[in-house]
Structure formats: structure tokens, C-alpha cells
């Protein structure tokens, strides 16, 4: 199968959905000629024109407000927020309007849009351009939250998100844009709420999100050389969450390590831990549920400090080794 980068897979999903459905359009700051903050929408304005690839003023609130209004009259907008940090500026429209309209109108109205946003550290972009805020939006009823970790997943999940009748926050890690992998040419969907077992194992379960899936897989390869077989689970969508796949894996291995980049306090790892201990998997645990997450500090500009602020491959190896050996 041919290979595409993560960014190319997203661009192809956008192109194919815009070709399939004239209601789909792109909106955001510099998404046109500039091609988006990270070049994901390059070439689409030349193909579809300025009425379907819309450059906006610098107003995240305005972008999401326009998306909400357009979705209410039958369109399917795909917006881009340059950095996830700036989604804070759009929260009134996203949290108080788009997320609640379907409920408050008794199901008679729907708000089908996708809000794409690059997140995470690793580019030296400092504290105001490097945050992982996904769990803020997991907390909001009415929103769906998607975090693909591979090019294949990015294309299939984005197409599914565009076709979904709910507002979807689609989180793309900056360091994944250049990652390459097999991607079918034809359109396909991955149902939201479907986790993926990225690697089978018997000794412990590693549940990871976004860039941490790639690091967990690298760590699992190193652990296998020591005779420790880690099973790597990628939820792919944080909301809806595929609890069954996670619980099944934990019952199988008896040990679980949760890895994410966002700050540990209030991060998605806490929700995953609660899901596990509130389920039948609790009786199969041979060790406490362990969370490995970002430090509770702003992301530093200094690249060495930035590196040590969030989990790296060696951190996952050490935490998994200790857990497998009962040293927790």
C-alpha cells in the first residue's frame, strides 16, 4: 500500500469529502493561499476556490461562531484553529453554543462541524503554543473529541468526523504531521468510539494517546528485548470512548500504564483509570493503575527543559519495566 504523511492523509480526507459533498467547506486563519499554520490545507483553495476555502480575520471566536451558524443551516464546516492554545478564545461558541444546541432544541437542530487544531509540544513553541487541552472538551456534553496517532487513522477518523452530525474537536499533534504510513487511496471511515490494539502483549497494557502511541510502540519494542511484552491500546477517540477494548485488555494483562502528554492533574488518564477501576477489570488488576503524563507546569521554551516536561520513550520503558516487575 502507498504511504502518505499524516498531514497528506488529512489533506486527502478533506479533498475527498469536499468532492463528495458540496456542503463541506474549510474556514480559518490562513487556510487558503498560505495553506494553514502547518501546511495541511495547501492547494485546496486553488482547487475549490475562495468560497469553499475561506480565510478569516484573526478571531477564533468568529471562526467557530461562523461554523456554528453555517452548520445550523445545513452546511458541514471544517474549521482550523492554528494552535490548540487559541481554542480558549473560541470557547464561548464551542462550549456554550455548538455543544448545547441539539439538546436545548429538543433534538430538532444539529451542529455538524469539525474543529481541527494542532496541539502538543516538541517544536520549541513555548507555553502559549504547546498545550494539550483535549480533556477540557471531553468534559463538555455534546462535543466529541478525536485524537488520531497514525496517517491511516487520521484519514478515516476525519472522514467519519465530517459525516457525523455532532460538533467534533479533532486534535492533531504537530510532531505527527511528517510521520508516514500506509493509507488507502479510496475514501474510508473509522467509526468514532472504536479503539485500536496497536500491538498485542501479555505482561501489561499501555494505553496511550496521540504522539504517545508512537512512543509507546517504540518503548514496547525495547521492552520486548528484555522479555516484557506490552500491549499498546490507542483509544483514537476520547469521546465517545471504547471502554470494552480497554477493559478486555486490562483483564488479559492485569497491569496498566496510561500515557498522555497533557498535564497529569485533570488529564484524560484520570478518566481512564476511573473507567478501569469501576469495571470488572478491577478484580483482575495485579498492581495499581499507573499514570505517566506531562508535568504540571507550562511548557518551557528551552528545548532541553521542554523535552523533560512530557513523557519520552525512555520514561515509558522505565515505568513499564517497574510495573511489569512489581516495583510500583
Pull the grid cell for residue 246.
480497554
- Predicted pLDDT of residue 1: 84
Catalytic residue among 129, 139, 173, 260: 129
What's the CA gap between 140 and 18, in Å, rounded?
28
Helix and strand numbers (H, E) in the chain are: 12, 14
End-to-end CA distance of the chain: 42
pLDDT at residue 316 in the model: 98
Structural domain spans, the chain: 3-182, 196-324
- What is the pLDDT averaged over residues 304-314? 98
0.75 cut: is pTM over it? yes
Same fold, 3-182 and 196-324: yes
Q: Which pLDDT tens digit goes with each residue over 69-108?
A: 999 999 999 999 999 999 999 999 999 999 999 999 999 9
CATH class, range 196-324:
alpha beta
Class of residue 159 by CB neighbours under 10 A (exposed 0-12, middle 13-18, buried 19+): buried
Q: Is 276 helix (H, G, I), strand (E, B) or coil?
A: helix
pLDDT confidence of residue 249? 98
Rounded-to-integer distance, Cα 232 and Cα 240, Å = 19
In the residue annotation, 260 being an active-site residue is answered as: no
Decide if pLDDT at 286 tops 90. Answer: yes
Cis peptide before 240 (omega within 30 of 0): yes
Q: Would you say how long the chain is, in residues?
A: 328
Q: What are the φ/ψ torsions at residue 284 (nearest 5 degrees)?
A: -100, -5
Are 120 and 132 within 8 A, CB to CB? yes
| Grid cell in block for residue 152 | 491511516
Predicted pLDDT at 3: 98
Q: Name the nearest CA neighbour of 214 among 264, 135, 293, 150.
A: 150
DSSP class of 130: -
Rounded to whole angstroms, how far apart are CA atoms 301 and 298? 9
Q: Are 219 and 320 in contact (CB under 8 A)?
A: yes
CATH fold of 3-182: Rossmann fold (3.40.50)
Q: pLDDT tens, 142-190? A: 999 999 999 999 999 999 999 999 999 999 999 999 999 999 999 999 9
Rounded distance between C-alpha atoms, residue 95 and residue 100, angstroms: 7
Amino acid at each position: 500500500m502507498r504511504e502518505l504523511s499524516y498531514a497528506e492523509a488529512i489533506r486527502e480526507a478533506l479533498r475527498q469529502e469536499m468532492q463528495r459533498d458540496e456542503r463541506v467547506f474549510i474556514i480559518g486563519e490562513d487556510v487558503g493561499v498560505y495553506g494553514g499554520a502547518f501546511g495541511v490545507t495547501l492547494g485546496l483553495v486553488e482547487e475549490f476556490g475562495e468560497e469553499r476555502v475561506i480565510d478569516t480575520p484573526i478571531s477564533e471566536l468568529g471562526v467557530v461562531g461562523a461554523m456554528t451558524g453555517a452548520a445550523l443551516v445545513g452546511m458541514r464546516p471544517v474549521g482550523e484553529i492554528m494552535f490548540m492554545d487559541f481554542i480558549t478564545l473560541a470557547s464561548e461558541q464551542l462550549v456554550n453554543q455548538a455543544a448545547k444546541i441539539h439538546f436545548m432544541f429538543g433534538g430538532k437542530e444539529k451542529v455538524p462541524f469539525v474543529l481541527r487544531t494542532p496541539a502538543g509540544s516538541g517544536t520549541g513553541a513555548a507555553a502559549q503554543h504547546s498545550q494539550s487541552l483535549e480533556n477540557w472538551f471531553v468534559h463538555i456534553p455534546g462535543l466529541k473529541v478525536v485524537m488520531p496517532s497514525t496517517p491511516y487513522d487520521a484519514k478515516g477518523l476525519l472522514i467519519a468526523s465530517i459525516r457525523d452530525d455532532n460538533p467534533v474537536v479533532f486534535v492533531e499533534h504537530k510532531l505527527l504531521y511528517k510521520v508516514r504510513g500506509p493509507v488507502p487511496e479510496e475514501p474510508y471511515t473509522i467509526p468514532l468510539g472504536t479503539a485500536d490494539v496497536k500491538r498485542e502483549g501479555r505482561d501489561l497494557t499501555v494505553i496511550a494517546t496521540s504522539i504517545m502511541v508512537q512512543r509507546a510502540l517504540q518503548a514496547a519494542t525495547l521492552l520486548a528485548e528484555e522479555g516484557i511484552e506490552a500491549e499498546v491500546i490507542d483509544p483514537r477517540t476520547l469521546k465517545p470512548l471504547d471502554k470494552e477494548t480497554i477493559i478486555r485488555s486490562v483483564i488479559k494483562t492485569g497491569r496498566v500504564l496510561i500515557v498522555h502528554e497533557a498535564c497529569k492533574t485533570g488529564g484524560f488518564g484520570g478518566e481512564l483509570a476511573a473507567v478501569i477501576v469501576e469495571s470488572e477489570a478491577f478484580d483482575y488488576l495485579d498492581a495499581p493503575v499507573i499514570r505517566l503524563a506531562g508535568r504540571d507546569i507550562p511548557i518551557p521554551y528551552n528545548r532541553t527543559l521542554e523535552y523533560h516536561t512530557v513523557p519520552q520513550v525512555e520514561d515509558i520503558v522505565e515505568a513499564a519495566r517497574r510495573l511489569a516487575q512489581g516495583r510500583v
